[in-house]
Amino acid sequence: MVVGDASVEIDVLVIGGGPGGYVAAIKAAQLGKSVLLVEKDRLGGVCLNRGCIPSKALISAAHKYETAQHSSDIGITAEGVKIDFTKVQEWKNGIIEQMTGSRGIGALMKKNKIEVFYGEAMFINENEARVFNDNVTARYKFNHCIIATGSRPIELKAFPYGGRILSSTEALSLNEIPKSMVVIGGGYIGIELGQTYAKFGTKVTVLEGSATILPGFEKEFSQLVAKNLKNAGVEVFTEALAQGCEKTADDVTVTFTVKGEEKKVTADYVLVTVGRRPNTDGDFGLDLIKVEMADRGLIKINDKCQTSIPHIYAIGDIVPGPALAHKASYEGKVAAEVIAGLTSVIDYKCIPAVVFSDPEIASVGLSETEAKAAGHTVAVGKFPYVANGRALSVGSPEGFVKLVGDKETGLLLGAQIVGTESSNLIAEMALAIEMGATLEDVALTIHAHPTLGEMVMEAAEVALGHPMHI
């Protein structure tokens, strides 16, 4: 690296090394571009270091602990089952290191000849940026730039982070299992983490402002999760508004209202999960280059991921749409392909959404409500887990598969699944919708027996009016 005022020329500058930025960097390098990736913390961003991967590791550990305690119905009784939470955290951290370190993303950067700078970037003008850390400062002139700075947890004024008030980041790194916890926000992050700690033995209280938990999903799906929360001893208050808190060295007392009635609950920790804020307000020069902004601090882009400055692109949590790692990666590929001269555009028809709750919820395409609102005459097929041999044999009879098709054309419009392994089952439905498959195509596809995947075929048969196993 050249240090000083002389600019080093680079094809593509990528700001942010999360699942959008590092994927964009790899794709651009594979398409023949010289790439500099600037990351101020660790490669992998929030997803791999403080979000998707560590949370799923803890969720998996909690499932194993629960299974070890509650398998007497199939003739297996375990005595003296204990949790060494320090080892659980060490195992989780090992997974993170494997994915992000020299054997993971670091190796991919080296393999694709991507220069990585650990520090920050600041635009000087529309074609130049200064990158810097405590030891080095350099100036780069770029032909294209991809901004992928991600997002951070929203902080409530009445519940400032620190001490016993946690964001999801701190909740994933506790060195002990709390005896009690209040979760403010019943969206997917709050439910995933709240339910996980409940399985570990924490007394959990969830405060959600909407009428139901997981408000982004239809009630017929979220109510199964609500049932399991209740069975795990989690107390859920909906239409609840958190007002403030009183902290001591040992606990936090939260004051909240439910339909005008004031209540209080005291716990070891308060976890605030009320959404995420795009990282566009940092001092990296967006105002200087006058990139056009959308609502809520998001950057406005076109269908090629270009901002109002055509050679500057934005992807991931800082642009409109759901804040999902796989959406960011997809947009990163599109941006890199456009830079390389390919005729790529973004198409959000098939972005799966998954909640790793118990049971899992997964969705892709249109829901029944959305399909009707779009003017379709719908054909709906539902098939229950309890009628599937594989689901029964793995002890997971809860849930169902729901397919939504157009009754006139037979075209598959959407799929929603609640139940074990729905996060994996939804991929087949995403592919089917992407390829323009019909309900008949799905029904005629031979699925291996006995598998959970058979339920997709069965649901299609229900929608077509000739169910086989219900």
Separation of alpha carbons 356 and 60, rounded Å: 10
Say yes or no to pLDDT of 99 above 90. yes
Segment 372-382 shows an average pLDDT of: 97
pLDDT at residue 2, rounded to an integer:
43
> What value does the mean pLDDT take over residues 354-361?
97
- Tens of pLDDT, residue by residue over 201-240, are 999 999 999 999 999 898 999 999 999 999 999 999 999 9
Domain 7-43+101-152+277-349 matches domain 165-274 at the CATH topology level: yes
Give 13-27 pLDDT, tens digit per residue. 999 999 999 999 999
- Residue 78 pLDDT: 86
Where is the binding site for NAD(+), in residues? 185-192, 208, 275
Reply yes or no on whether the pLDDT at 187 is more than 50. Answer: yes
User: Residue 464 has what pLDDT?
Assistant: 97
pLDDT bin (cut points 50, 70, 90) of residue 5 is low
Q: Does domain 359-464 have CATH number 3.30.390.30?
A: yes
**pLDDT tens, residue by residue, 315-353:** 999 999 999 999 999 999 999 999 999 999 999 989 999
pLDDT above 70 as % of the chain: 99
For the annotated catalytic residues, the residue numbers are 449
DSSP 397-434: ---EEEEEEETTT-BEEEEEEESTTHHHHHHHHHHHHH
Give the residue extent of every domain in the chain. Answer: 7-43+101-152+277-349, 165-274, 359-464
Region 181-196: what's the mean pLDDT? 98
Residue-wise pLDDT tens digits, 12-61: 999 999 999 999 999 999 999 999 999 999 999 999 999 999 999 999 99
Cα 323 to Cα 439: distance, rounded to the nearest angstrom: 30
User: Tokens at residue 164, please?
Assistant: 């016993």
What's the pLDDT band for 283 if we cut at 50, 70, 90? confident
7-43+101-152+277-349 fold: FAD/NAD(P)-binding domain (3.50.50)
Return the structure tokens found at 201: 């033995």
Q: How confident is residue 101, by pLDDT bands cut at 50, 70 and 90?
A: confident
User: Class assignment of domain 165-274?
Assistant: alpha beta
pTM, full prediction: 0.94
Residue 6: its pLDDT value, please? 63
Does an H or E element contain 25, and which? helix 21-30
Mean pLDDT of 378-401: 97
CA-closest candidate to residue 151, choices 31, 48, 278, 27 = 278
Is the pLDDT assigned to residue 455 strictly greater than 50?
yes
DSSP state of 299: B
pLDDT of residue 256: 97
Interatomic CA distance for residues 417 and 408, integer angstroms: 23
What is the C-alpha to C-alpha distance for residues 126 and 119, in angstroms, rounded to an integer? 20
Mean pLDDT of 360-373: 97
Residue 3 pLDDT greater than 60, yes or no: no
Q: With beta carbons less than 8 A apart as the criterion, state whether 197 and 204 touch.
A: yes
Cβ pair 252, 266 in contact under 8 A = yes
Provide, rounded to the nearest whole percent, the portion of the chain with pLDDT above 90: 93
Contacts of 285 (CB under 8 A, 6+ apart): 122, 123, 124, 129
Residues within the annotated binding site for FAD? 56, 149-151, 317
* 466: its two tokens: 């000739």
In the predicted structure, residue 1 carries a pLDDT above the cut 60? no
Average of per-residue pLDDT values in the chain: 95
